[in-house]
Structure 1
Amino acid sequence: MSLELVSTGEVLKYMREGDAIIIDIRDEAAFLKKHIPGAVLMPYAGFDENAPILKAYGNIILCCERGATSLLLGRKLSKKGYKILSLGGGMEAWRGPLILE
C-alpha cells in the first residue's frame, strides 16, 4: 500500500482520532525507559509481520530510536499491503507526551 514519514503533530492527530496503532519496535529496556502513551511494544528483533494486531488497523505508525529501523520495517510491511506511517526521526524527534520509567 504505502509508506509515509510523519511528524509528532501528525501522530498526535492520529492518536486523537483513534485511527491508528503506534508500534514501538525498540527493545524492551528502551520502551520501558520512555514511550509514547498507547504505544504497543513489538521489538524489531522478533517482529512478526503476520501478527493479527496489524490487520485490525488501517494505519500503522512505526516508531524506533532514530527513524531508520522503522523505515526499513515499514518498506517490508507496505509491500505486504499495510498502510505504514513512520515517525520521522524516531523517539529522538518526538515532541509529544511520554510515559517515563
Structure 2
Amino acid sequence: MKSEEVGQAIFETWTVEEVAKAMKENKIVLIDVRTPQEYMFEHVEGALLMPLAFFKPDALPGQSDKKIVLHCGSGARSEKMARLAIESGLARIAHMEGGFGAWKGAKLPYIGTNMATGAPHRVD
C-alpha cells in the first residue's frame, strides 16, 4: 500500500491483492464508483455501488470499524473520487490501483453475467 499526505488527510493506494485479502478478512468496505450498468454487468462480489455521478462523500459510511476503499474500471475515477472525499473533509480514504481491470487481470473472483441467460454468476 502506498500512502500520501494530502494536507491533514491520508490518501492510500491499495493493490488488488491487498484489497482481496482485506475483503476476505472483513476489514474494508469496497465501494464501486462505476456506473450502475457497469456494476450490473460485472463487479467485485461484496462491493457496494456509489456511482461517480451521484458520489457524495458525506454519505460514505464511518471508518471506525472498517476502512473505505474506492474502485472503478481503471483506477482513474476512484482516485478522483478519493481526492474529492479528502477535499470534503474525510481524514483517510483509499482507492484500488488499476481498478476492476487489474482485479480481473489478477484472476480474482467476481460476479459476471452469463451471456446466454443474462443471469449473474460467479467467475473464478
- Say whether the fold is shared (TM-score over 0.5): yes
Distance in 2 (CA, whole Å) between partners of 1:33 and 1:49 is 25
Alpha-carbon distance, 1:10 to partner: 0.1
Instruction: Tell me which structure has the larger Cα radius of gyration.
Output: 2
Preserved contact between residue 58 and residue 82 of structure 1 (Cα < 8 Å): no
Match of 2:23 in 1: 15
Which consecutive aligned stretches of 4+ in structure 1 deviate over 3 angstroms post-superposition? none
In structure 2, what is the Cα distance between the partners aligned to 1:45 and 1:81? 19
Taking a change above 3 Å as real, the CA distance of residues 55 and 41 of structure 1, as seen in their structure-2 partners, is: same
Q: Distance in 2 between matches of 1:55 and 1:84?
A: 11
Alpha-carbon RMSD across the aligned residues, in angstroms, is 1.5
Q: 1: CA distance between counterparts of 2:92 and 2:66?
A: 6
Q: Which of the pair is proportionally richer in strand?
A: 2
Structure with the bigger RCO (C-alpha within 8 Å, sep 6+) is: 1
Match of 2:5 in 1: none
The CA deviation at 1:6 is: 1.0
Count of aligned pairs between the two proteins:
100
Q: In percent, how many aligned pairs have the same letter?
A: 32
Residue of structure 1 in register with 2:90 after alignment: 81
Deviations 1:12-43 (A, max 9, x none): 11112211100000001100111001000110
Residues 39-60 of structure 1: CA deviation (Å, up to 9, x unaligned): 0011010112111x52155411
Of Structure 1 and Structure 2, which has the larger fraction of its residues in helix? 1
Residue 85 of structure 1 aligns to a residue in which SS? strand
- TM-score by length of structure 1 reads 0.88
Moved more, 38-47 or 78-87: 78-87
Instruction: State the TM-score, normalized to the length of structure 2.
Output: 0.73
Q: What is the deviation of 1:78? A: 2.8
